[in-house]
Structure 1
Amino acid sequence: MARDQKDKPDLDAAYALETPDDNRQLYGKWAETYDQSFAQQMDYQLPAHVARVFAELGGVGPVLDVGAGTGLLAEALRPISDVKIDALDLSADMLAVAGRKGIYRDLIVGDLTKALPIEAGQYGGVVSSGTFTHGHVGPEVLDQLLTFASTGALFVLSVNAEHFEARGFEAKFKALGDKIDDFHIRTVSIYGAGTDEAHSKDKGHLAVFRRM
């Protein structure tokens, strides 16, 4: 796909991203309008699903929100769980929008595919919605995420259903069998009834587990 098409901020452009720089450029342009032009218009339900499952299973903080973007997951979690939340995202522009909402303890700009300056074992929960999908990071980052979590920490990570087997997430979770416990999958609709027809059947797998 031509760069000018990938630079246009919309869902198809996001799915076509190939590099961290592509991500920074697209989401930098999209940050200020993301909540309205994407989340509201597409009836984006994935952050709410992740938040609900984390709260239902008694998740505790502090929580690391991976690929936090503009803070949609934390906004959904705040009314149902009294936990401190830190935001991690590649895009400083998206985090700037999230920061204005006053829902995060800390904002961390960082690339998941590289070593991050996050203290090992400090998080009681790790959540993510919309990060493990087309054009974004793959299962190779799960090892580093586990190091950030304390023993027994609850993970609720959304993975695009089409992406789950094709990109190796299924195999990776099996390989992590001696490091995680209570692993199971919950399948949810990514978008609600208000989305467009092209994405009305899109599904996400919620990978739910605890760090051993």
Structure 2
Amino acid sequence: MTEKTPDVSDAYALDTPKAARQLYAGWAKSYDDSFANARAYLLPDLTARAFAQAGGCGPVLDVGAGTGLCGVALSGLRVTPVDATDISPDMLAQALRKDVYRDVIEADLNVGIPVPRQSYAGVVSSGTFTHGHLGPEVLPAILRVARSGAWFALSVNAAHYEEGGFATAFDRLLRGQWITNLSLPEVRIYGEDAEGAHRNDTALIAVFQKV
């Protein structure tokens, strides 16, 4: 029997870090063709562009980098150097093949990122803050690795933004003067010709600056 290729519904149903590692171990090699190309996955490029347009610069940490699609987009915009972090070593292995990352860091963001404080002048994340993945509770760990003045561009699935408590989290960070200049442009995640149950899903790209 041919093993079923994972899809976005499987990813949205994840409930533990172990399940995430298992899913992406079996999906890593085919991810770009079976998902990103097949669905005209726009989000990595749009996230990278939002970061660059805000004035973001390197060194950048790509959080939940997967196979490196956002890193490729950043490279095309001449934003370098970029490091990648992801929970899946198999996805990071594919990202390395694209030859756009200075380094890769295997990490569970719920535990933390094993790099010194203030290591990065910018942080991006595409497709990681979504159903079955990460919520706003990891924002402090991401802020920790960024320098004062660092720009962020973090895509958040629009439905997950509402149900996951991101509005409250960002409001708390603004009131606490941890971040400033927050904007939330809404974009399509997939191209207009995409098919499937999630073809019309949108994301908010949280663009902000660390104080």
1:162 matches 2:159: yes
State the 1:199 CA deviation.
2.3
Distance in 2 (CA, whole Å) between partners of 1:64 and 1:194 is 31
TM-score by length of 2: 0.95
TM-score by length of 1: 0.95
State the 1:200 CA deviation.
2.7
Distance in 2 (CA, whole Å) between partners of 1:182 and 1:82 is 21
State the 1:166 CA deviation.
0.7
State the Cα RMSD in Å: 1.3
**Letter matched to residue 70 of structure 1:** T
Distance in 1 (CA, whole Å) between partners of 2:78 and 2:198 is 30
State the 1:169 CA deviation.
0.6
Any gaps of 5 or more consecutive residues in structure 1? none
- Tell me which of 133, 136, 140 is aligned to 1:139: 136
Which residue in 2 is equivalent to 1:41? 38
Q: Tell me if the contact between 1:55 and 1:81 (Cα under 8 Å) persists in the aligned partners.
A: no
Q: Tell me if the contact between 1:154 and 1:208 (Cα under 8 Å) persists in the aligned partners.
A: yes
Which residue in 1 is equivalent to 2:95? 98
- Tell me which of 66, 79, 82 is aligned to 2:79: 82
**Letter matched to residue 200 of structure 2:** K
Which residue in 2 is equivalent to 1:174? 171
Any gaps of 5 or more consecutive residues in structure 2? none
- Tell me which of 108, 111, 116 is aligned to 1:111: 108
State the 1:197 CA deviation.
4.8
1:208 matches 2:210: no
1:126 matches 2:123: yes
Task: Tell me the SS of whatever aligns to 2:76.
Answer: coil
**Letter matched to residue 211 of structure 1:** K
1:30 matches 2:65: no
State the 1:82 CA deviation.
3.3
